Structure 1
Amino acid sequence: MKNSYWLTNLRLLDCRAGRLIAGKSVHIRDGVIDEVVEDAHPVTGAVFDLGNRVLMPGLIDCHVHVTAVKLNLAPGKELPTSLVTARSSRVMREMLLRGFTSVRDAGGADLGLKRAVEEGLFQGPRLFICGRAISQTGGHGDFRAQIDQPNVHEMEHTLNGIGRIADGVPEVRRATRDELRLGADHVKIMASGGVASVADPIDFLQYSDEELAAFVDEARRARTYVMAHTYTADAVERCVRAGVRTIEHGNLIDKPTAELMAARGAYLVPTLVTYDALAREGRNLGFSEVSLSKLERVLAVGSDSLRIAQAAGVKMAYGSDLLGELHRCQLDEFRLRSAVLSAPELIRSATSLGAEVVGMEGKLGVIAPGAYADMLVLDENPLEDINVLTDPTKNIRAIIKHGEFVKREI
């Protein structure tokens, strides 16, 4: 593809305003949007006539695990790192072909995968990584079975690069510094019980106040932020008061906690689709009975958490949190959230709000001069029907990442 071309005869989707703007032409140069002008503007060079189709920013998923290439995360069933890497390349390519031109990894992806995408060795979205999620012993990132005995050599065990263990303020600081040294863009911590881990109930509060403060202090001094796995209202409150910037999941939040999040400017990243997919397919795919029983609790209140957060004015970004064979359900999050949120709200969650979360406001999630040329071309208007985005094979005619056509059916 030439490094300079025009897109003309299009309807531009303004995600922030939630409207289409007709009569615009967009000039791309060296992977960046150079101009957005009226169609009447004289155009020279390569031109792609979009036939009055919709042009919108590429989608952003703020909670993925691209190295979670199988559903069962239990130790003892690890795959060779080289095989995980190979499978991850396929996971990322399929994400890109669904329209996700950027993703924020919540545990697993490392600097090597990020560079492989940047260098064109793997085809995939822009990666924003945390490296390994950090967990206390017995926390959501500790996937050892309950019959496993302590072993000093396991205290920083990894599971295909998903997580590491750190206990106490000195170790928390060292683990955070180490992940930043390894190229993390943000820091991921496990601050409450989880579904996929067997030893910690959902309402298990993890990490002390002092440890939470240490995570946030280290991240802030490195000019970045902390994202925290949390479910219950008290877990969310502890994290937000400590300065955590993004709350992952948050299914059991209440009104006071949501209002605190809004007041502190914390983001919520719901991930309803992972519970929906696991409820439908988890047992057949070998998900443990312990995890399935915990799943029922968070699944039942997922939509309620959206209503509570929306009423409080909490900013909500798009997330999926899928594992293994369930990555294919990534776009179903739109469908599930549409029971509560409007199409414009859903589109903002996966574009401009996602850009805010990853610290790329004005560069991603918008079609404007100076932004990266990450864009989708659609036959129909997703503002009228969000399901336009849930069937990319049918409705997405072109996918452009950094100015290059990944898919072109125009």
Structure 2
Amino acid sequence: MRFRYPVIIGTLLLVVIGLMTQVGLAQNQSSPNPPSQAPTNTLFENVRIFDGVSEQLSAPSNVLVVGNKIQTISTGSIPAPDGDVTRINGEGRVLMPGLIDAHIHLFMETSTEEDLVAATAAPERLLQQAQENATAMLMRGFTSGRDVGGPAFELKRSIDRGDAVGPRIWPSGAMISQTSGHGDFRQLSDLPRTPTSKLSLAEQFGVGAIADGVPEVLRRTREQLMQGASQIKLAAGGGVSSAFDPLDVSQYTEEELRAAVEAAEDWNTYVTVHAYTPRSIQKAIRAGVKCIEHGQLMDEETARMIAENGVWLSMQPFLDDEDANPKPEGSESRAKQLLVAEGTDRAYNLAKQYNIKTAWGTDTLFSPQGATRQGAKLAKMVRWYTPAEVLRMATSTNATLLALSGPRNPYPGKLGVVEEGALADLLLVNGNPLENIRLIENPGTNFLVIMKDGVIYQNLLG
């Protein structure tokens, strides 16, 4: 069956409009619940720690988690606190921070065209898939994710309430796009748009938000913030999957981009933009954007500009391999995908050369199999970095990017590290990932304990 991105988006939206209120994610019982929704005291004994920063493991240590925070780390014995304590003997295994994916789309990662056809008879299934996707992500050891486009607000709230199981979510809400931009999911038959035109399905559902001119950009930015966005996402250049914007085009004027930046800064947070090319990246930086998503086609001048301005580069290891998002051979999207893949090596080498603040993410779309390979997509980063650098990127470095949301950070506290006072998002690994990073490809076997916010979701030793 031929992959048709606008048709898939349209079908997705058509069958779920209104279901967010009619079905309610909190009432969906398809996802498993942890043994307890409240954190308990846990004592990890005889573990070696990758703390998210160092390149070496610690000496054999003990780690006490009280509630949802790490209270004590010691090479000596730790007196157990009063009350129930879960003791876990690590037997010298590695304790490390939970993994963080800086570029996810929870509502679009695992739905295929076949799923969407079936969903016309049972539309609530798409909502179930998003929740199941979130649960599976947590059970792969990813305790946090930045959702940079899609209606993730209610799913996040359901997880935070304990009604659903999943990672911490930093939602952007709808991706804001100009007409004909990467976030404009309309068909040509929907044109022209007039002052009395209804919002497109993508806008109604919260996947994209079309805005042209400063007043509309301000309105759409403020709408996402009103709904609980922790950061704002704009499309500043052409995309691979979108049908009507060539990869080389730049989107939005500098004035429009600056309007979004100022509106976000008024809320003490930041703007990130989808951009591949030098022109689109440089324009965004001049407008005050703090993070670039992708960047695979940047040149050396652009890399230098990113570094000099302290801008983040949120990249994904896009290669022409088994993890590429599905695109039909001979299609325009496939041609664009190959161009991006060709630029990935150069972009990572430039990021290293100029010491750019580089985050890691997956950006999986419409690929249930691709979603399951989240850990494998991280492990392949050893093509450019050492295992320690890769794991640091997916823990403490990504956590620093998440904290850029400032007061809009939905989870105050320190993440991505194993240190006293940090939030207790932890993995106990059956082996040493600094020596064999491929251990993270098989979380069902190798992540013996998965803990988020002090709650144990998997314990293969218990």
Could you tell me the TM-score, scaled by structure 2's length?
0.83
Q: Displacement, 1:166?
A: 0.6
Q: Which residue of 2 aligns with 1:302?
A: 344
Q: Which amino acid aligns with 2:40?
A: N
Match of 2:292 among 247, 250, 255: 247
Deviates more, 1:91-100 or 1:329-338: 329-338
Alignment of 1:70 onto 2:111: yes
Task: Name stretches of at least 5 consecutive residues in structure 2 with no aligned partner.
Answer: 1-35, 404-408
| Change beyond 3 A, Cα 1:31–1:328 | same
The CA distance in 1 between the partners of 2:217 and 2:123, in whole Å, is 26
What's the secondary structure of 1:217's corresponding residue? Answer: helix
| Change beyond 3 A, Cα 1:130–1:244 | same
| Change beyond 3 A, Cα 1:316–1:275 | farther
Q: Is the 8 A contact 1:273 1:336 kept in 2?
A: no
Pairs within 5 Å for 1:83-94 = 83-94=125-136
Pairs within 5 Å for 1:186-335 = 186-273=231-318, 276-277=321-322, 279=324, 281-283=326-328, 289-324=331-366, 325=368, 326-335=370-379
Q: Is the 8 A contact 1:141 1:165 kept in 2?
A: yes
Q: Displacement, 1:40?
A: 3.1
Q: Displacement, 1:71?
A: 4.7
Q: Is the 8 A contact 1:66 1:92 kept in 2?
A: yes
Alignment of 1:108 onto 2:145: no
Q: Displacement, 1:254?
A: 1.5
The CA distance in 1 between the partners of 2:425 and 2:73, in whole Å, is 14
Q: Displacement, 1:182?
A: 0.7
What's the secondary structure of 1:351's corresponding residue? Answer: helix
| Change beyond 3 A, Cα 1:4–1:388 | same
Q: Displacement, 1:51?
A: 1.1
Q: Which amino acid aligns with 2:422?
A: A
What's the secondary structure of 1:55's corresponding residue? Answer: strand
Q: Displacement, 1:335?
A: 3.4
Q: Which residue of 1 aligns with 2:429?
A: 378
Alignment of 1:367 onto 2:418: yes
Alignment of 1:179 onto 2:227: no
| Change beyond 3 A, Cα 1:218–1:337 | same
The CA distance in 2 between the partners of 1:140 and 1:350, in whole Å, is 27
RMSD: 2.4
Match of 1:170 among 215, 223, 230: 215
The CA distance in 2 between the partners of 1:348 and 1:212, in whole Å, is 31
Q: Which amino acid aligns with 2:333?
A: S
Q: Is the 8 A contact 1:9 1:39 kept in 2?
A: no
| Change beyond 3 A, Cα 1:274–1:302 | closer
Task: Name stretches of at least 5 consecutive residues in structure 1 with no aligned partner.
Answer: none
The CA distance in 1 between the partners of 2:199 and 2:283, in whole Å, is 25
Q: Displacement, 1:14?
A: 2.2
What's the secondary structure of 1:248's corresponding residue? Answer: strand
Q: Is the 8 A contact 1:252 1:305 kept in 2?
A: yes
Q: Displacement, 1:47?
A: 2.0
| Change beyond 3 A, Cα 1:274–1:323 | farther
Q: Residue deviations 1:332-361, cap 9 Å, x none?
A: 322332111111111111100111111179
The CA distance in 2 between the partners of 1:210 and 1:331, in whole Å, is 39
Deviates more, 1:58-67 or 1:159-168: 159-168
Q: Which amino acid aligns with 1:103?
A: G
What's the secondary structure of 1:252's corresponding residue? Answer: coil
What's the secondary structure of 2:240's corresponding residue? Answer: coil
Q: Which amino acid aligns with 1:70?
A: S
Q: Is the 8 A contact 1:303 1:337 kept in 2?
A: no
Q: Which residue of 1 aligns with 2:449?
A: 398
| Change beyond 3 A, Cα 1:71–1:254 | farther
Pairs within 5 Å for 1:101-140 = 101-140=143-182
Q: Which amino acid aligns with 1:8?
A: E
Match of 2:67 among 11, 15, 30: 30
Greater fraction of residues in strand: 1
Deviates more, 1:145-154 or 1:94-103: 145-154
Q: Displacement, 1:157?
A: 4.2
For these two proteins, the number of residue pairs brought into alignment is 406
The CA distance in 1 between the partners of 2:351 and 2:317, in whole Å, is 14
Q: Is the 8 A contact 1:274 1:320 kept in 2?
A: no
Deviates more, 1:299-308 or 1:332-341: 332-341
Q: Which residue of 1 aligns with 2:390?
A: 346
Q: Which amino acid aligns with 2:288?
A: G
Q: Displacement, 1:394?
A: 2.6
Match of 1:151 among 185, 190, 193: 193
Deviates more, 1:222-231 or 1:154-163: 154-163
